[in-house]
Amino acid sequence: MTLDNIFLNGNFEYSNIISCLESDNEDLKPYALLELQEIKSQEDFDIIVSNLTGHDGRIRELVSSKICEIHCGNFAHLHFSLFLDALCDVNPNVSRNIVKFISSNELPLNDFLIDRIFIIMQDIEANSKPKKWRTQKNHLLNKMYFKLYWCLEALAENFEQSFNKDKLLEILAENSECVDYTIREKVAKILCKMKNPPPDLYQKMKNDVNYYVKLNFYDKI
């Protein structure tokens, strides 16, 4: 009996759900994911999260939502690179879910996350014409800013005082000049979590022209 017939008859047994998610049937996978209530093994988790990138948007969003709903952090240690890719998804719901997943499972992703941020920053610089660091916007750069936004949000939500301070300060200083206020907003959010933020940079962001950037400092006054 095919998976189509199995699901048509309402047979959403766990083994059938995993078989579906391992298959190439993009039409049935959303239904299988909606019925997923548990993850029993590392192998099954690997199959499920393999659908987190490179698949239809419905599937990516459902996978990101399900791994937040189901306690499975103990299976997550093999997939740091995959989670960082999913964090940069074009669908903000996927990105938001991955931030939540990283936070709720306290995944030690921070060094990898900082490295990914530097890669995105380099891509932005390489694609800026003329080469003025983060002073312009266009469709290509906006897509990169979108990725940068979610990586900085993940960094802010999982902030640790033990971050490599030199690398962190370089990220904050460079992005404090970004033409996109949402990036500066994340810089401000991270600065407010630091015990001893650089006074000049802190004051600079506190006096930013954008209301949402300055909003981060209101409870610090």
Query: Position 14: which residue type?
Result: Y
Percent of the residues in the chain that have a pLDDT greater than 70, as a whole number: 89
- Residue 108's region, left for phi above 0, alpha for psi from -120 to 50, else beta, is beta
Q: Which pLDDT score is estimated for 188?
A: 95
Question: What is the average per-residue pLDDT within 189-195?
Answer: 92
Mean pLDDT is lowest, of 38-52, 134-148, 169-183, 203-217, for 134-148
Q: Is the distance from CB of 185 to CB of 196 less than 8 angstroms?
A: no
Give the separation between CA 63 and CA 28, rounded to whole angstroms. Answer: 13
Give the HSE-up count for residue 116: Cα atoms under 13 Å, Cβ half-sphere: 25
Mean pLDDT is lowest, of 2-16, 72-86, 122-136, for 2-16
Give the separation between CA 204 and CA 176, rounded to whole angstroms. Answer: 8
Determine phi and psi for 189, rounding to 5 degrees: -60, -40
Determine phi and psi for 124, rounding to 5 degrees: -65, -45
In this predicted structure, the answer to whether residue 133 has a pLDDT above a threshold of 70 is no
Residues 92, 97, 101, 107: what is their CA dihedral angle, to the nearest 10 degrees? 0
Q: Which pLDDT score is estimated for 127?
A: 83
Average pLDDT in the chain: 88
